[in-house]
């Protein structure tokens, strides 16, 4: 099975409408709150958003930190901080943690706040909340507001339209639909987003996705799979060998003795999404820098 045989694209009509709405609304906001899944920060950066945001101040929220490798996330936060962006890591399901985002937002908009204060007025800060599907944007807004004002869910595509939410401090937040981009030019990014649940499962071949997930996890640390499924991975094992061992260890067997790959593959992807494999971040800063250098060389060749 070759990497280029797996292609993933999911860009339903509501995402195209959402991008047009964001491009229009970006003019009326003072800053952007960009929510990233801490398990794959690089893959969560939508190139269409980069084009749209331009010079607006950005606060990156590394969400779902409870599921991620903190040392890798720390590296990513330094990476984005060096670009002049505010950064905070959090689990947005824990109440009260959103105050750190509010603090960074006020800092990013300090010039406007001072300008209004000098006139004896209180400035209203407006921020657009962006992110790929299922990164936790709506949960973060509910955390900031202290109330369940937006619809949330652990599947892609829950938020469909724009929602303006005013929080106690007078800050106005625009919740936007989780949005991908029309075409992926990087298979690895596409499948990483699929692991996170940012791509609707109905359009995926879950068995093939699990094959690649096992391969990617083995490249990080095979003991993650050994510890979870109580198996031994030999040096010459490939993804299929490991899937066979997981099927046998978990007794995922069909009538007649054939291995139940469907059940096994769904269990593996679910275990990752729910954090049962441990704290994992799939991307490192050093690795992504190498990929960028390689891409630049290819483009200049």
Domain boundaries, the chain: 12-175, 205-300
Asked whether the predicted pLDDT for residue 60 surpasses 70, the reply is yes
Spatial distance between the Cα atoms of 244 and 261, rounded to a whole number of angstroms: 8
Q: What share of the chain in percent tops pLDDT 70?
A: 87
Query: Is the full-model pTM beyond 0.85?
Result: yes
pLDDT for position 249:
97
Chain center to CA of 163? 21
Q: Work out the average pLDDT over 139-150.
A: 77
Reported confidence tier of residue 6, pLDDT bands at 50, 70, 90: low
CA distance 91 to 183: 30
Bridge partners, residue 37, by sequence: 63
pLDDT above 70: residue 254: yes
The whole-number pLDDT of residue 2 equals 41
DSSP designation for 88:
E
Q: Is the confidence at residue 244, as pLDDT, over 70?
A: yes
| Res. 146: pLDDT tops 60 | yes
Lowest mean pLDDT among 161-165, 195-199, 213-217: 161-165
CATH class of this structure's domain 12-175: alpha beta
Higher pLDDT: 215 or 18? It is: 215
CATH topology of domain 205-300: Conserved Hypothetical Protein Ylqf; Chain: A; domain 2 (1.10.1580)
Q: What is the mean pLDDT of residues 211-227?
A: 96
Instruction: Reply yes or no on whether the pLDDT at 19 is more than 50.
Output: yes
* Fold equal for 12-175 and 205-300: no
Contact 66, 91 (CB under 8 A): yes
Distances (CA, A) of 295 to 6, 47, 153, 196, 300: 20, 15, 36, 24, 9
Mean pLDDT estimate for the chain: 87
* From 158-167, 172-181, 286-295, the region with the lowest mean pLDDT: 286-295
Q: Which residues does residue 60 pair with via DSSP β-bridges, in sequence order?
A: 34, 87
Higher pLDDT, 131 or 145: 131
At residue 15, the pLDDT reads 83
């Amino acid at each position: 099975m070759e990497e280029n045989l797996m292609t993933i694209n999911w860009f339903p009509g509501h995402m195209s409408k959402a991008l047009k709405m964001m491009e229009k609304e970006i003019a009326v906001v003072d800053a952007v709150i960009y929510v990233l899944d801490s398990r794959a920060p690089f893959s969560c950066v939508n190139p269409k958003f980069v084009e749209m945001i331009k010079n607006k101040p950005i606060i990156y929220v590394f969400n779902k930190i409870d599921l991620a490798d903190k040392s890798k996330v720390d590296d990513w936060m330094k990476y984005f901080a060096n670009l002049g962006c505010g950064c905070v890591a959090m689990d947005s399901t824990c109440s009260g943690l959103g105050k750190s985002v509010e603090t960074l937002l006020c800092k990013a908009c300090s010039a406007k706040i001072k300008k209004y204060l000098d006139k004896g007025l209180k400035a209203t800060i407006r921020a657009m909340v962006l992110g790929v599907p299922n990164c936790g944007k709506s949960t973060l807004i509910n955390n900031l507001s202290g109330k369940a004002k937006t619809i949330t869910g652990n599947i892609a595509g829950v938020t469909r339209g724009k929602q303006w939410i005013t929080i106690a401090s007078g800050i106005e937040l625009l919740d936007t639909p989780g949005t991908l981009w029309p075409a992926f030019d990087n298979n690895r990014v596409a499948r990483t987003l699929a692991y996170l649940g940012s791509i609707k499962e109905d359009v995926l071949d879950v068995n093939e996705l699990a094959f690649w997930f096992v391969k990617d996890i083995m490249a990080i640390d095979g003991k993650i799979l050994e510890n979870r499924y109580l198996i031994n991975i030999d040096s010459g094992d490939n993804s299929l060998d490991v899937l066979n061992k997981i099927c046998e260890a978990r007794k995922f067997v069909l009538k007649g003795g054939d291995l139940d790959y469907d059940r096994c593959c769904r269990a593996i992807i679910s275990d990752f999404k729910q954090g049962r494999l441990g704290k994992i971040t799939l991307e490192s800063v050093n690795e992504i820098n190498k990929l960028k250098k390689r891409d630049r060389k290819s483009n200049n060749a």
